[in-house]
Amino acid sequence: MEKYSLLARNSLYYLISLAVLLWPAIYNGYPIVYPDTGAYIASGFYGTVPVDRPIIYGLLVRHVSMLYSLWFVVVLQGIIAVFLIAETLKVLKVRFDVLWVLAISVFISLCTTCGYYIGQVMPDIFTSYMWWSLGLILLKDGKRSVSYILLYIVMVVSSTTHLSNFSGLLLFSGVLLPIAFVFRKRNIIKKLLLLPAISVLVMLSTNFIIEENFFLSKAPNVFFSAKLNSTGVLKDFLQKNCATAKYLLCDYQEILP
């Protein structure tokens, strides 16, 4: 009887933690949407890979919503946050109590914008989830468990929901791998090699199933050009070289923002 009482108590605190993290969406009366939300929903429901973003989040929205409600999507995002908070406490070897999960949920919900992004139908929150789960995976010992597998799933899904997440993972692994080799951290080396490999495999296989072609992005040059333009490098380059070279963007250099 005491066992079931403890289970009921913990379940109640987890539900309250979830509700606290979702309070902006609850207050709004509906999951928060953004202009790009429609593009993600359309990609998943129509089964087409967008030119400028991966389809993974669109598929997640399609299947998690069960063609019924977007509430299921933000609830899942909230559950992931609660799970990561609990795993963080375990990794830090804090004496685990679900009250700590509730306290941390209240703190980050009131003192950060976390709740807003958790309750939003956008992949932005998965950037935080990627780095969070990556840190936990690297810090966890080698013992395999259900929570360990779930961390890998969260990590891989998060890294494939946005191209910047995926690029960040590759860059991070590339920088940390030499350091891990120097200090002979074999366990970390395996993880740093395995995680990007799984993410690449997931993106390539998903795109192949949908489009019958292997690719990571339909237009990687668009993001790179946009970044160069935002820093002013692109405009300077065109001004210096368009007199001697004919680039397609030369005709538009005067109207570049």
Q: Give the model's pLDDT for residue 225.
A: 73
Helices 2-21 and 98-111: crossing angle in degrees, nearest 10, is 10
User: Does residue 213 fall inside a structural domain?
Assistant: no
pTM, entire model? 0.87
Residue-number span of the structural domain to which 239 is assigned: 219-257
Averaged pLDDT, 92-110: 90
User: Does residue 185 fall inside a structural domain?
Assistant: no
CA angle 212–224–239, rounded 5-degree value: 135
Give strand pairing partners of 32: 120
> Which tokens belong to 41?
């929903």
Confidence of residue 220 (pLDDT cuts 50, 70, 90): low
User: Does residue 186 fall inside a structural domain?
Assistant: no
User: Does residue 136 fall inside a structural domain?
Assistant: no
120 phi and psi angles, rounded to 5 deg: -105, 135
User: Does residue 207 fall inside a structural domain?
Assistant: no
8 A C-beta contact, residue 20 and residue 102: yes
User: Does residue 223 fall inside a structural domain?
Assistant: yes
The SS3 of residue 32 is strand
CA angle 135–137–138, rounded 5-degree value: 65
Confidence of residue 242 (pLDDT cuts 50, 70, 90): confident
pLDDT digits (tens, 9 = 90+) for 122-152: 999 999 999 999 999 999 876 778 999 999 9
> Which tokens belong to 158?
């998060």
- What distances in angstroms separate CA 143 from CA 71, 84, 133, 140, 147, one per listed residue? 35, 18, 16, 8, 10
d(CA 251, CA 70): 43
pLDDT digits (tens, 9 = 90+) for 165-176: 999 999 999 999
**Quick one: DSSP state of residue 120?**
B
Q: Please state the domain count of the chain.
A: 1
User: Does residue 239 fall inside a structural domain?
Assistant: yes
CA–chain centroid gap for 169, Å, is 11
8 A C-beta contact, residue 126 and residue 158: yes
User: Does residue 93 fall inside a structural domain?
Assistant: no
Residue 230 has pLDDT above 70, yes or no: yes
d(CA 54, CA 67): 20
